[in-house]
Chains A and B, each alone.
Chain A
Amino acid sequence: MNEAIIELAKVSAAYNGELALQEVSLTVQRGEFLAIVGPNGSGKTTLLKVVLGLLRPLAGRVRVFGRPPWQLGTERWRIGYVPQVHQADLRFPVNAYQTVLMGRYGQLGLFHRPGPRDRAAAEQALERVALSELAQHPIGKLSGGQRQRVYLARALVAQPELLLLDEPTTGVDPGASESFYELLSSLHAEGLTIVLISHDVGVVAQQVDQVACLNRRLIVHGRPQEVLSSEALAQMYGCEAVLFLHGRVPHIVVERPEENRS
């Protein structure tokens, strides 16, 4: 059942006036779990924004579910999105449940209030991320890991077919981070297509089945073991880097890092 969900062909895009993506071609099939890795400023977030339809590319062809993503219209619910951590105000007076319910707003349309089906979906999504007991907790009172699970539930509440995550475990402690990735793994096992951005090459290597290395251009794309060779990493980071896969946590050794400063 090969069905391309995301198709990028020679896509170039600028963000804040700077060229962030250059001729990137990438296809994501249904059921894939892809991690996009790369150094800061390598265009990872820009790539997600293009896929979401928030940013129009300067050149190239973008198709998500066979259509340009900015023309998805009412089918936008098919994409779930977990943005970078710092986006929302932590003192905003809403609780976990209300936050998750917002994930249904896009489908509801103007002037429609959430109904019983939306509320049931929100409760179900919270249950899926094991946070039912904290439903009434203000968003600011949750730990970093719990908050990320709330945002994951908000992305899942519309029952999307594609899930995009932008550095979902930044600032989350290692234990909570690990259980977050386990959650993603089980979602993937249920058939959800997932694209995850991370700057942490080591962690993603264990979880995903595809890795794409990005540094404005797409350096390499394939299975983790093949991709995360020293050659690809060296090209991506612009210096010598070696990935050691031993024990549970892979390590990267970067040599001559001072030459990478820019």
Chain B
Amino acid sequence: MEIFQYAFMQRALLAGVLIGAICAVIGVYMVLRGLAFLGAGIAHASFGGVALGFLLKINPLLSAIVFCLATAWGIGYTARKGQIKEDVAIGILFASTLALGILIIGLMPSYNVDLFGYLFGSILAVTPFDLLLTAGLGVGVLLTVALFYKELLYISFDPEMAQASGLPVSRLYFLLLGLIAITVVISLKVVGILLVTALLVTPAAAAYQLTQDIRTMMFLAVLLGVGAAVGGVLLSYVLNTASGATIVLLSTLSFFLAASLSPQRRRARRRDMSG
């Protein structure tokens, strides 16, 4: 296969495997804790961070990391304080950080074509530095999840009990928010700002349809996430389509397949027919 000989394809595929797996793992916690909207909010906030990077002439991913972490923790802090509901806080920051990005882009002397790649993802745009950043941070995210596995499980399942048994629930919640923010940023180049939520949530949601065991759910989510990412990258090359959109649609397809195969649904249908 000639396509594997191109350096950019190798980078794109490697990035696809990495972010497919990392997004799936973080996505499991997002699905179980109902944080899908938060992921979308952080993803949109990254646009402000990327634009800031262009303006300051530093790598946009680096500025996006700082920006997204600040946004994620800002949302978490406001929600914890209890004065504003979490979804309202997300709704406000979602739009305002995007607006900030648009404003910054408008201020810049020349229109930057690269921006489109950040919005919708582009396999061509994955540079060796991006790949290094993705690999480094991605391994960091996975290691953190492995280290805090039982704590993250407990605060996702029953935060009140977790707190009652002495776990630092608040700090763990902020840790999870930070992990989501980092995962969003390292996925930007391949799937894009507007589509990254799908790669986070869809494989985990599909796996959720198929099992009632958390480890199996993680395993299936990673399998589906990597499958969609790699399949999407290859398919986008062959069909000459946008990589991010192809990955997301492939992932969506796997979700509907999983939903139709879901043991829970089959049982529910049987109940409907008998009752």
Contact = CB atoms under 8 A, between A and B. Distances in A.
Q: Do A and B come from one complex?
A: yes
B222 to A, nearest CB: 15
Given A91-B212, A105-B151, A105-B162, 10 more contacts: A74-B166, A87-B161, A92-B157, A102-B150, A102-B154, A102-B158, A105-B150, A105-B154, A106-B165, A110-B147
B157 A102 contact: yes
Interface string A79-91: 1010100011101
Interface string B140-157: 000000011011011011
B160 A83 contact: yes
A83 B150 contact: no
B150 A138 contact: no
Given A76-B166, A83-B164, A114 B158 contact: no
Contacts of B150: 102, 105, 108, 113-114
B79 interface: no
Given A93-B217, A94-B157, A111-B147, A105 B164 contact: no
Contacts of B167: 105-106
Contacts of A114: 150
Contacts of B161: 81, 83, 87-88, 102, 154
Contact of B158 (A83, A91, A111): A83
B26 to A, nearest CB: 16
A171 to B, nearest CB: 17
B127 interface: no
A114 B154 CA distance: 13
Given A93-B208, A108-B150, A114-B150, A88 B166 contact: no
A110 B154 contact: no
Nearest to A81: B164
22 contacts: A72-B166, A76-B164, A76-B165, A81-B164, A83-B158, A87-B160, A88-B157, A88-B161, A91-B212, A92-B32, A93-B208, A93-B213, A95-B212, A102-B153, A102-B165, A103-B165, A105-B151, A105-B162, A106-B165, A114-B150, A154-B161, A158-B165
- Those 9 A-B pairs whose CB atoms lie nearest each other, nearest first: A106-B165, A138-B212, A76-B166, A106-B166, A93-B214, A88-B158, A93-B212, A81-B164, A93-B217
B35 to A, nearest CB: 13
B163 interface: yes
B211 interface: yes
Interface string B209-226: 001111011000000000
Contacts of B163: 54
